[in-house]
Amino acid sequence: MESETLKPAAGRYLTAALYKFVDLPDHTALREPLLACCEANQVRGTLLLAREGINGTIAGPEAGVHAVLAHLRADPRLAQLQHKASWSDKPPFLRMKVRLKKEIVTLQVPGLDPNQTVGQYVKPADWNALLADPDVLVIDTRNDYEVAIGTFKGAVNPDIKTFTELPAWLDAQPALQDGKKPKVAMFCTGGIRCEKSTALMKMRGFDEVYHLEGGILKYLEEVPPEQSTWEGECFVFDERVSVGHGLQPGPYELCRSCRWPLGEADKASPLYVKGVSCPHCHDQRTPEEKARLAERQRQVELAEARGEVHVGARLPM
């Protein structure tokens, strides 16, 4: 049920990313006991509960995270819940939130139910063969800032800012509208968005729909670099910002103003001001907003000098 990469010595923080599509008609009643379990075990992060399932990322002491996972798996509907694990020297999250939502990953397509049908799962070891098939249209379902730092060679980039824009993008593609429907393969960071997107393709009458099981992260974990068709880094929604092969942390930092991943060229730009702006958002911020962000950054740096963590040091993912 888990893959705990590079397990460290005691004292570091375990992060567990998880999701499962499963019918939870009583999800509202699950919230308070789950929140209490997290708080009792010093676990922080965000978990989303909806009628269609659970999604989120938590972090804390190893024993505490496993206690929360055991609490979830004690529900027979979540007994097979899987998680992806990683480690960090510092706590990735400052608060614990358990939120009730309409969807655990928002696509806003009425009647779409990944619990009923999704695309065919493709193991990471078999993904390269699918990419090499000229009859397969490979679509990256992630947002523009994620694709900007890495993707699979030959994949189509929809250039969307949010996942909810994907259906409209699909509507605008002539090759997906008329005549014989092509084979389609989709991928995302950890797999959850592809559960929704491949379910959407099946709803629209596509018969041969595939997606990368475990997402890019599983591919980077299992496929050796010399055999890889991945180019660049993979954006992740925690303080690592990006990872490469073997899930090793990458060179990117996060703009605390717009959350765009920043490389060395971005940080060398005269438009980059740490904690305030970057080349991607500099012209979108008013003087008042920049002043507010500059004050937040000043407080963060003062807290760091005192050996403390300021509440504004990290943005919620």
- Active centre residues (catalytic): 188
Strands (E), the chain: 2-4, 13-21, 44-50, 53-60, 83-88, 96-100, 120-122, 136-140, 150-152, 183-187, 209-212, 230-232, 234-235, 242-243, 253-254, 261-262
Sequential DSSP letters for 180-210: SPPEEEEE-SSSHHHHHHHHHHHHTT-S-EE
- Residue 118: both structure tokens together: 């999704």
In angstroms, the CA 152 to CA 140 distance is: 8
| DSSP state letter for 296 | H
| DSSP state letter for 149 | T
| DSSP state letter for 223 | S
- Residue 163: both structure tokens together: 């996942």
3-state DSSP call for residue 290? helix
Cβ(233)–Cβ(313) below 8 Å: no
127, burial (CB in 10 Å: exposed 0-12, middle 13-18, buried 19+): buried
List beta partners, residue 16.
58, 85
